[in-house]
Amino acid sequence: MKRYTFLLLDADNTLLDFSETERLAISAALARFGCVPTAENAALYSAINRKYWRLHDLGELTQAQVQLLRFEELFARLGLQADPAAAETVYRAELGRCGRAFPGTAALCRDLGARYRLLLVTNGVPETQYQRLHDTGLDVYFEQIFISGQVGAHKPQKAFFDYVAAHTPGFDREKALIVGDGLTSDIQGGVNAGIDTCFFDRKYTGPGAARPTYIVHSYDELRKLLLT
């Protein structure tokens, strides 16, 4: 394997269990608006949310549009009369409070940090992401944390990674590797930025048309790739 100095690690569903966080947060938010928080309703929201974030990754929607459109569609499909903007506010607060890391994440970050310079690269709202990283104790392992809401660009835009490069002393794209679960954000982002990529394919979905430099399916495989 090529020798790297910088690891750019994605947060959601790579280090943080966003699926569980999302389930807890949307269930709490729906209950606040008089809707029974069933597993089916949580799954419906998750599917709607993924659809709109994919459009965001493709540059077709802004983050603000995603945040409102997802609740407009959810409420329409549930037949619920509620204000999407108010729901977004409640959901965002719950999302920040419900941070969960995957088992073994802290140990992985500690061990990777002993060999590499770790940078966290994530899309999202800064206040929410910082809270979740702090509550899970992961923030201490990173030299720097880059969040799209602060950067002014989002993965997979080249501008996001240009910002990372410009604000990381000594950064060298040839010695950097992006590790993430998002084909349209992390892997395509690496392609756009000229940085090698490792697709964290936890669910064995396969890379589709993407061409990551490496593919791993678990923390054990990631350790084998980067620490042996």
Contacts of 19 (CB under 8 A, 6+ apart): 13, 46
Largest CA distance in the chain: 55
User: Whole-angstrom Cα distance, residue 114 to residue 223?
Assistant: 13
C-alpha span between 169 and 176 (Å, rounded): 13
CA distances to 21, 85, 120, 136 from 16, in Å: 8, 26, 12, 8
Q: Which residues are catalytic?
A: 10
Is 114 buried (19+), middle (13-18) or exposed (0-12) by CB count in 10 A? exposed
